[in-house]
Amino acid sequence: MITRDELRGRAQTVLGVVDPAVLGSTLMHEHLLWNICPPSRRDGPPGPDFSLESNWEMCWSQIVAPHNLIQKDVPIAVEAVAEAVSAGCSTIVELSIGGLEPDPVGLQQVSRETGCHIVMGCGHYVEEYQDPANHARSVDSFAAEMVAQVQEGLWGTDVRAGLLGEIGCQSPWTELERRVMAGAIIAQQHTGAALTIHPGRRQDQPQEVMDFCREHGADCSRVIMDHIDRTISDEDALFRLADTGCVLEWDLFGQESSLYAHNLEQDMPNDAGRLRDIRKLIQRGHLHQIVISHDICHRAHMTRFGGWGYAHIHKRVLPLMRRRGFTEAEIRAILVDTPRRMLTFV
């Protein structure tokens, strides 16, 4: 058990409390040990195996193979994280939470073997993935669970969460998901942790969530809105969201196909397009509200299976940023300063 006073001004990794100054260059939204296969398909056939011939089709979602959606192997995670560390990454935020088969003890091992700081999220993903028993639970029950996950331990272990989320929302936003979100806001108020949010796949859904956060007394400056790249292409919607004070997260770097299989109405930008949108926000004065990541949750996206891997931002996006005129101060704000501010308990 750790108290709010003991956490204030500190960050909390899977190995314990640290001085936020040590966090360094941080990927704010990844999965290292996860199962994102929809529960209804978990007992089905595993689908075709990985091959050089199939990787691109898997990345274009033309082959749907459940085993592409599951990565529970610690040595594979160690190898993947070590690659990111040698490219300059120092901290990874791991958001496999309720519904995605989180493995806190496995993440401790990954952290020990790679030297990478790993910060875990907590709470519950979208309704489809949640334990059916959650339907009967109250806002206060979810709040108490998340407070305990930050202050005592996660999923039956003594490993503690370092932030709340990625709290799952859909469009339309379900009643159960709203209850979990209301609980997360109470947990934010009780713990001083940041809150990171997986919004529904509709252009104005992040705004709907931020209105809810404000009405329920959240500290909006300590809310991170994830997956901007697959959700918002309209500039007015982007600026309106930034005006709520939240941090905006472009966390699908590396996905350079224009297809977004979960919403065929929305074109996925490539990395250059992401950087152009980020530049628009910086020009409007929002430099300190931007973070980036890869949100790797398909094995086909990992280097060992033919993908870009967790080192992509450090190896390939940073050089692209420099070629496109991003200053070292801007890069530092996005990769170091804003993640450190969000991971520091208040």
**Under the rule (CB under 5 A), what is the footprint of Zn ion?**
95, 295
Q: Which is nearer to Zn ion, 27 or 95 (CB)?
A: 95
Q: What does each C-alpha distance from 216 to 51, 144, 184, 212 come to in angstroms?
A: 48, 16, 10, 6
| Least distance to Zn ion, CB of residue 86, Å | 24
| Least distance to Zn ion, CB of residue 175, Å | 23
| Least distance to Zn ion, CB of residue 77, Å | 15
Distance from chain centroid for Cα 259: 21
**Helical axes 104-114 vs 74-86, angle rounded to 10°:** 40
Q: Which of 272, 275, 271 is nearest to 294 (CA)?
A: 271
Q: Which is nearer to Zn ion, 101 or 295 (CB)?
A: 295
| Least distance to Zn ion, CB of residue 233, Å | 20
| Least distance to Zn ion, CB of residue 8, Å | 27
Q: Is 255 left (phi over 0), alpha (psi -120 to 50) or beta?
A: beta
Q: Which is nearer to Zn ion, 28 or 95 (CB)?
A: 95
Q: 281 with 248: CB under 8 angstroms?
A: yes
DSSP E strand boundaries for the chain: 11-13, 16-18, 26-30, 34-35, 70-71, 91-94, 117-120, 164-168, 195-198, 223-225, 247-250, 290-292
| Least distance to Zn ion, CB of residue 28, Å | 10
Q: Which is nearer to Zn ion, 7 or 161 (CB)?
A: 161
Q: Which is nearer to Zn ion, 95 or 342 (CB)?
A: 95
Q: Which is nearer to Zn ion, 93 or 281 (CB)?
A: 93
The terminus-to-terminus CA distance of the chain in angstroms comes to 17
